[in-house]
Structure 1
Amino acid sequence: MPCVQKRKAAEYEKFIHQNRRTLDLYKGVTDPVETIHILLTSQRPDPLVQFVPPPKSLEEFCGALNSSEADQLMLRAEQEFKSGNIEVAEGMAQSLATFTDFALDPLLESWIEGDHLWPSVIFRNAGSAVRDRLLAKLSRASAASNLNHTLRALAWIGDHRVCDAFLGLEKSPPAWLRHVDPSRYAHVAGWEPTQDGRRDLYHKKCLAIHPVAAGETACQSVSLLKEAHETCPWCRSPLVNFFEFKLSTPEVSFLGLSGPNLPVLTCEACSCFGPVFGNIDRIGVAHWSSMNRRPDWLPNDIALWDRGPWSGKAVRLTPRRAVHAVEWCSTATTSQVGGLPSWVQNAEYPGCPDCQKTMTFIAQLDNGHFPGNEGIYYAFLCGACRVTATTYQQS
């Protein structure tokens, strides 16, 4: 029987090889809006068809759109939405939200009319008319209402009216609020409401991290996963400075710490199971925080884990929008300095163990950049207390 199966498999492969055709969906297409539409329309897998890849990435096509083309793409998204092609419509709207700076308010009216407030990032920086319609939904809510998407959309608008509304909900929680504080919804969009107004938990400046290819020059402002000459008290693995930023370089001086360096000390293994904190002294050296608490569970073989794929990699940095990679499963490179986190699961900003304030996100590394790996490491800073934190999420 194995010989028969092997022969049939060989015959099948031969048939595929002899009959496979190449299909270029982009041949002769010069309209960028049409190209984006093709890119976002899923092609049914067919072993007899080999699709030619697009000439540029989705983010490159979207980033080059002018105002008129962006309006056309919004109209196309609205048409797809009304036709019931929700996934394609969402992809167009999300691409406009993350890869361009254009206002999407005309498009959002259709989403609100259809009571479809997803993906929430498309409401980023929406105007007062959109905001007021969403706030009105809160005022009409009952105990049976599910306003999860409404609150997330409002978080992405995030203006002073939304901040005041979230503070009001925290002060007098209505029955429909369930079990999640409004501040946790604000975390989705990288901020929290305070009595002094909105407090951002991220830096608007954002630099994508790319491994250096042959012929490219590595940046001098950041190094990755350098051993710190200490061992983890929990698993005895070498501690590493997951990031070490050279603050004298203009590229990363925005991170909000005085001193020569900003090292983010962590245990690469144990931080997969809980936050790991570090303290930075005045000369820029990181130390294990006495406030660290061992996770409830660690694998028995954790000390034998391999180092991550970024270890020893030289990198370069390129500027992009803060919101560019906020959707972790998009086509964009996820590793970055600054900007908004790409949460694989829920938004989880750690609190500073010294002052208890929510820490600011400063960088992330995506192991999924390398085949056979997964998971994102996130780095945070409390500049006032000179405390760093590292966390990890995976699908």
Structure 2
Amino acid sequence: MTRLQYTCPGCGTPLGYEGLCWKCKSEQERNAALAWTPEQITEKQRNLIQNIQRLAEMEEPEFTDFWQLLSYHNAIAPEIQRAALAAGVLWPCEIYYHAPKDVRDGLIHALLSTEDSNGASQLMSCLAMQGDDKAMETLLELERNPRPWRKNLYVDPSSYAQIGGWTFDKEGRRTQLNFDICYPMVKGVSGEASPVRIGRARKDTCPHCGGRMVDMLVLDGRDERLQFLGLDGILTATCCPSCVGFLKGPAFNSFTPDGGVEVFPSELFDGAEKADCYVSPEDYKALTENPFVLGKTPVPLFYGAACQDVNTIGGFANWVQDAEYTTCPHCGKPMKYLAQIQWDTVFDCAEGTLYVEFCPDCQIVSMQHQQT
């Protein structure tokens, strides 16, 4: 095997080029954005308003500025939202998160006026992000009385609502699918105690590949920081880190507040009985000895929604594909989004993200994998 010539000066990772690895570079850029002064934030907001069309075209610096304003400062002001609406900018839909009533009404007017299915799709996504009662009433009415453009879309308005972290049933009852508090997982010091742990070793093995099962998330809801989850005890999410991305649907397990786990039977997506294990002993060691601990203070809800090197509890996910809320296999209700674990943060050369959701009523956890 050819030995790589360089190493990252930040973490020592072997590289084929000189400079920082992508994870250290992402951390450097995030720390720089977190250090913005109020004056810098105001200037970036002003530039975004003046050049809002460049955001829709993914031009720089507007595209990066938008995500950093949203993710690290929760600073998408109503003036930015009004400028976006006036210019017909409908992407990223997150720009309309909790937009004021006049912007909401503008989105509703545009949605009810359009005859184009693509435009309707974008507008419903934006309205989902705005997310108030009138937004829900509009989407509910469109679900009950579909417009002609509905036949060109794959899902109903209630599925579009999930983009904003909520949905509704046929009777118009609203269900919140995410939490309005977010904590990051940060690198701790050796031996540091944490109410959340990523990757705890287990002795049992996967029935598909024979690799070791792992408690991918162990969370003690009794910690003061995690009271918002409503868990009076321990939630454990257990799966095979090698096979979870190859299952027919999510991986499921039940949990008990005393830390108990029962893993549900699963099937491989191709119907095969056995699979190869792609996680090496070195990977298992890295996964189960990672340094992540729960951060001390909450962060903006979209803190982990625009980068691939941040693990979070609560808030919004960075969906690699579409937002996907699992249906509880016991009660049939949509599960609540709990956490995201970026695979490449816990062992090298892994791809994609593991999303953890749970049903608080049935005490069931789901884990699903997405990647490009």
For this structure pair, what is the TM-score category when the shorter chain's length is used for normalisation?
0.7 to 0.9
Pairing 1:229-240 to 2, within 5 Å after superposition = 229-240=203-214
Pairing 1:253-272 to 2, within 5 Å after superposition = 253-259=227-233, 261-272=234-245
Q: Percent identity?
A: 23
Equivalent position amino acid for 1:340 in 2: F
How far is the alpha carbon of 1:199 from its aligned partner?
Answer: 2.1
Residue equivalent to 2:168:
193
TM-score (norm 1): 0.76
The correspondence for 1:368, drawn from 344, 349, 352, is 344
Q: Which moved more, 1:306-315 or 1:342-351?
A: 306-315
Partner Cα separation in structure 2 for residue 54 and residue 282 of structure 1 = 36
Matched positions, count: 336
How far is the alpha carbon of 1:392 from its aligned partner?
Answer: 0.7
Contact 2:184/2:312 (<8 A) preserved = yes
Equivalent position amino acid for 2:100 in 1: G
Change in 2 beyond 3 A, CA 1:83/1:238: closer
| Alignment of 1:335 onto 2:314 | no
Q: Which moved more, 1:171-180 or 1:97-106?
A: 97-106
Equivalent position amino acid for 2:243 in 1: C
Equivalent position amino acid for 1:158 in 2: G
Partner Cα separation in structure 2 for residue 82 and residue 391 of structure 1 = 35
| Alignment of 1:154 onto 2:133 | no
Equivalent position amino acid for 1:200 in 2: Q
Contact 1:202/1:361 (<8 A) preserved = yes
1:93-149 CA distance string (max 9 Å, x none): 332222223352212233223322111111111101111111001111115653222
Pairing 1:54-73 to 2, within 5 Å after superposition = 57-58=29-30, 60-61=32-33, 64-66=36-38, 69-73=40-44
Q: Which moved more, 1:104-113 or 1:183-192?
A: 104-113
Residue equivalent to 1:98:
71
TM-score (norm 2): 0.80
Partner Cα separation in structure 2 for residue 187 and residue 244 of structure 1 = 26
- Cα RMSD (Å) of the superposition? 2.9
Q: Which moved more, 1:305-314 or 1:153-162?
A: 305-314
Contact 1:272/1:392 (<8 A) preserved = yes
The correspondence for 1:109, drawn from 66, 82, 100, is 82
SS of residue paired to 1:204? coil
The correspondence for 1:133, drawn from 106, 113, 119, is 106
Partner Cα separation in structure 1 for residue 326 and residue 307 of structure 2 = 19
How far is the alpha carbon of 1:159 from its aligned partner?
Answer: 0.6
The correspondence for 1:222, drawn from 189, 196, 206, is 196
Residue equivalent to 1:353:
329
Contact 1:337/1:364 (<8 A) preserved = yes
Residue equivalent to 1:79:
50
How far is the alpha carbon of 1:241 from its aligned partner?
Answer: 1.0
Change in 2 beyond 3 A, CA 1:196/1:176: closer
Contact 1:270/1:298 (<8 A) preserved = no
Contact 2:182/2:301 (<8 A) preserved = yes
Residue equivalent to 1:315:
292
How far is the alpha carbon of 1:244 from its aligned partner?
Answer: 1.0
Partner Cα separation in structure 1 for residue 256 and residue 172 of structure 2 = 30
Residue equivalent to 1:278:
253
Q: Which moved more, 1:85-94 or 1:133-142?
A: 85-94
Residue equivalent to 2:355:
378
How far is the alpha carbon of 1:200 from its aligned partner?
Answer: 1.8
Residue equivalent to 2:303:
324
Change in 2 beyond 3 A, CA 1:211/1:167: same
How far is the alpha carbon of 1:76 from its aligned partner?
Answer: 0.9
* Larger CA Rg, structure 1 vs 2: 1
SS of residue paired to 1:99? helix
Residue equivalent to 1:167:
140
1:20-59 CA distance string (max 9 Å, x none): xxxxxxxxxxxxxxxxxxxxxxxxxxx9xxxxx8996346
Partner Cα separation in structure 2 for residue 180 and residue 104 of structure 1 = 31
Partner Cα separation in structure 1 for residue 306 and residue 90 of structure 2 = 16
Contact 1:273/1:298 (<8 A) preserved = no
Partner Cα separation in structure 1 for residue 28 and residue 252 of structure 2 = 41
Partner Cα separation in structure 2 for residue 258 and residue 279 of structure 1 = 15
Unaligned runs of 5+ in 2: 1-17, 19-24
Change in 2 beyond 3 A, CA 1:254/1:217: farther
Equivalent position amino acid for 1:313 in 2: N
Residue equivalent to 2:222:
248
SS of residue paired to 1:316? strand
How far is the alpha carbon of 1:304 from its aligned partner?
Answer: 4.9
SS of residue paired to 1:303? coil
Residue equivalent to 1:17:
none
Equivalent position amino acid for 2:301 in 1: A
| Alignment of 1:209 onto 2:185 | yes
Contact 1:80/1:86 (<8 A) preserved = no
Change in 2 beyond 3 A, CA 1:57/1:185: same
Contact 1:104/1:122 (<8 A) preserved = no
Contact 2:246/2:268 (<8 A) preserved = no
1:312-358 CA distance string (max 9 Å, x none): 213222231121121245xxx42112221111111111111001111
SS of residue paired to 1:243? strand
